[in-house]
Amino acid sequence: MSESTLTLLKTPCYDLHIEAGGKMVPFAGYEMPVQYPLGVKKEHLHTRALAGLFDVSHMGQLTLTGVNAASGLETLVPVDIIDLPKGKQRYALFTNDQGGLQDDLMVSNLGDHLFVVVNAACKAQDIAHLQQNMPEDVTIEVLENRALLALQGPKAGEVLARLIPESAGMVFMDSRVLSFGGVDCIVGRAGYTGEDGFEISIPGEHAKRLTKLLLAEAEVEWIGLGARDSLRLESGLCLYGHDIDQTTTPVEASLLWAISKVRRSDGARAGGFPGANIILEQIATKDVKRKRVGMVGLAKAPVREGAELFNADGDKIGIVTSGTAGPTKGAPIAMGYVEKQYAVLDNEIYAEVRGKKLVMIVTKMPFVEQRYYRG
């Protein structure tokens, strides 16, 4: 049965998307806006210049409560959760026994509990994974009726400070419970665009009213899934199920920065997560067959997901996992996996698009400068 024939869920902001002329499509079991009348390219550029508002309420939101919440979660991720300071959040990875990636997630320490956000498509399996593996004294609460909004762009801080004055004191990866329009909301200074910005978790019954307050600000426009994808790709950020999946290790995926030092072979709490032996061995030996790389195209045609990659001799060496026209970069950009020996900066490789081999240059990511606010 295709997703379009299933009964699709609606986010608390669904009516606002319809009012704004959002083009709704099935996505991870929800009706989600892929674009608005402004169009994907203008939405992308607006976010880079001012402030874009994204409805990401399809994501999974949950809390973990109990004295062993942090230590329990740490057994499932190669990340330092035990020493995550109160009021901070951290990017984490669920690994499997083969060292592959089950999902990526965000974890916030809100003092008396952890707040966790997981990907929409992996929500059910992630919740089951936690229920099966967390200590018995840890309470897992799935927050069903909540909206999650992302306000992103260079004007995001200025806009939110008008509505939530306490947000002005936050820096990148801070996470706090703040009052917004008289309602306690979870506010994190982070996002998925490479820009400064915030993610705001709002009780569902207040979502429309508070969303309208954000949209009333002159700098803010609704932004759909189309521009969300091109923005995150320009910023070199992975999309789960495309750039990373159950068959990809963090080392192959060039996500070493996401493995905390304390969890590595010489760390105080080395290993102890699924697939640790495989992942730590790959870190030590650098012995992987493929690597995730960024690529910039010399031709005008965008190179899309699924395009095969070749060397100068015509041998297949990899595949593109994400690709876009790169509105800010001004050139086609892509990321994908190539055999390790070709994962060298400035290397020339070839993507096959409609029977033609287009030149791609291996380049560092992000493709555009990240502008997170660090104070």
Using N-to-C axis directions, what is the helix angle for 207-215 and 156-163, rounded to 10°? 130
Report the chain's mean pLDDT, rounded to a whole number.
Answer: 97
Q: DSSP secondary structure string, 156-197?
A: HHHHHHHH-GGGGG--TTBEEEEEETTEEEEEES--SSSSSE
Whole-number percent of the chain with pLDDT over 70: 99
Q: What is the pLDDT of residues 236-269, one digit of tens each?
A: 999 999 999 999 999 999 999 999 999 999 999 9
Q: What is the topology classification, in CATH, of domain 3-59+144-234?
A: Gyrase A; domain 2 (3.30.1360)
pTM to 2 decimal places: 0.96
Domain extents in the chain: 3-59+144-234, 289-375
Going by C-alpha positions, the residue among 125, 67, 63 that lies closest to residue 94 is 125
Whole-number percent of the chain with pLDDT over 90: 98
Q: What is the pLDDT of residues 88-112, one digit of tens each?
A: 999 999 999 999 999 999 999 999 9
Q: What is the pLDDT of residues 264-290, one digit of tens each?
A: 999 999 999 999 999 999 999 999 999
**Tokens 């705001």 sit on residue:** 200
Asked if residues 103 and 128 have their Cβ atoms less than 8 Å apart, the reply is: no
**CATH number of this structure's domain 289-375:** 2.40.30.110
